[in-house]
Amino acid sequence: MTALAPTGRVIEASARVYRRTFRGSVMSTFLNPVLFLLAMGVGLGKLVDSGAGGSTLPVDYLTFLAPGLLASTAMTTAAGDASFPVMAGIKWRKTYDAILATPVGVGDLVAGHLGWIALRLTFVTLVYAGVMTAFGATSVAEGLLAVPPAVLTGIAVAAVVTAYTARLKDEMGLSSLFRWAITPLFLFSGTFFPVSQLPGWMHPVAYATPLFHGVELCRGIALDLPSAVSPWASLGYLVAMLALGWVLAERLMRKRLVK
C-alpha cells in the first residue's frame, strides 16, 4: 500500500456515495447558479445597464456578475460538503469511526475529504465556466483560467468549515454558520456589486473575507480587470487560509475521533 493509497480510498468512497446521491444536489449545485445568472445578470442587468445615467461598471452587468457567481458557487458548494456530511460522519452515521478502524489515519481522512471536495468543485466550476461562456460573459480560455482560483476559494472555505464542524456537538451550530457567515459572505463580498459601493467602515471587513479575494481573482482573470488588492495578496490569503484550516481540521478531528 503506497503512502497515497489511504487518501485515495477516502476519495473513492466519497465518489461512490456521490454517484448514488448526486441527483438530489443537481438543483443547488448546477441550476441555482444558472437561475441567478438569468435573473440577476440578464433580467436585473438590463435595468442596471440602461438605468438613469448608465452603469458605472467597466463592463455590462452580466459580464461583471458571472465571475463573482463562479467564486461564490464554489464557496457555497464547499461549505455544504464540509458541514452536514462531516457531522454525519462524526455523529449521525459514525462513518468516520468505521473508516478509522481500517489502515486509514486521521490525516488521510482529512486529506481525502478535502481532496474529494476539490474534485467536486473542479467539476462544478468547469460546468459553470461553460455556462458563463455560453452567456457570452467571457471567452473559453479566460473562463477556464478562472476555475483554479474558484476551486482554491472553495477548498480554503471547506478546510475552515471542516475544522468548525469537528468541534460542534450538534447541528445547531451549522445553521448559525450558514445564517451568519455563508449568506452574508455571498451577499457582501463583491459578487453582486463592487465592494467600493459599501459604506466605508465595511471595506476592511469585506477585504478580510475569503470570498472577496476569490471574486477578485476570478473577475480579474475572466475579465482582465484591475483588482482592488494585489492578486498575489489574494492568492496568499487563500493559501494561508487553506493551510490553517487543514491543520486545525486534522487536529480537531483527531481530538474528536481518537479515543
Buried b (16+ CB within 10 A) or exposed e, 117-154: bbebbbebbeebbebbbebebbeeebbbebbebbbbbb
Angle at 42 between CA 38 and CA 47, to 5 degrees: 135
Residue 241 clears pLDDT 90, i.e. is over it? yes
| Per-residue pLDDT at 93 exceeds 80 | yes
Q: What is the mean pLDDT of residues 100-104?
A: 93
pLDDT band at 102 (very low <50, low <70, confident <90, very high): very high
Query: How many other CB atoms sit within 10 Å of the CB of residue 70?
Result: 32
The pLDDT score that the predictor gives to residue 51 is: 61
Cα-to-chain-centroid distance, residue 85: 15
Q: What is the pLDDT of residues 178-234, one digit of tens each?
A: 999 999 999 999 999 999 999 999 999 999 999 999 999 999 999 988 888 999 999
d(CA 87, CA 156): 19
The reported pLDDT for the residue numbered 226 is 85
> Cβ of 69: how many Cβ atoms within 10 Å?
26
Residues 6+ apart with CB under 8 A from 9: 102, 104, 108, 112
Q: What is the pLDDT of residue 103?
A: 92
- Is the distance from CB of 158 to CB of 244 less than 8 angstroms? no
Q: Which residue has the cell 455544504?
A: 80
Q: List, for residues 21-71, the tens digit of each pLDDT value.
A: 777 777 767 787 778 788 887 777 777 777 645 567 788 888 999 999 999
> In whole angstroms, what is the distance from residue 213 CA to residue 76 CA?
15
Each residue's pLDDT tens digit, 153-192: 999 999 999 999 999 998 899 999 999 999 999 999 999 9
The single residue listed with the C-alpha cell 452536514 is 84
Distance from the Cα of residue 26 to its chain's centroid? 16
Predicted local distance difference test score (pLDDT) of residue 2: 53
Q: What is the pLDDT of residue 52?
A: 47
Collapse the DSSP code of 1 into the 3-class scheme (helix H, G, I; strand E, B; otherwise coil) and give the result.
Answer: coil
Judged by average pLDDT, the poorest of 4-8, 69-73, 89-93, 190-194 is: 4-8
Helices 106-134 and 231-257, packing angle to 10 deg: 140
Question: Which residue carries 500500500 as its cell?
Answer: 1
- Res. 1: pLDDT tops 50: no
What b/e sequence results for 187-213 when a residue is b if at least 16 CB atoms lie within 10 Å of its CB, and e otherwise? ebbbbbbbbeeeeeeeeeebbebbbbb
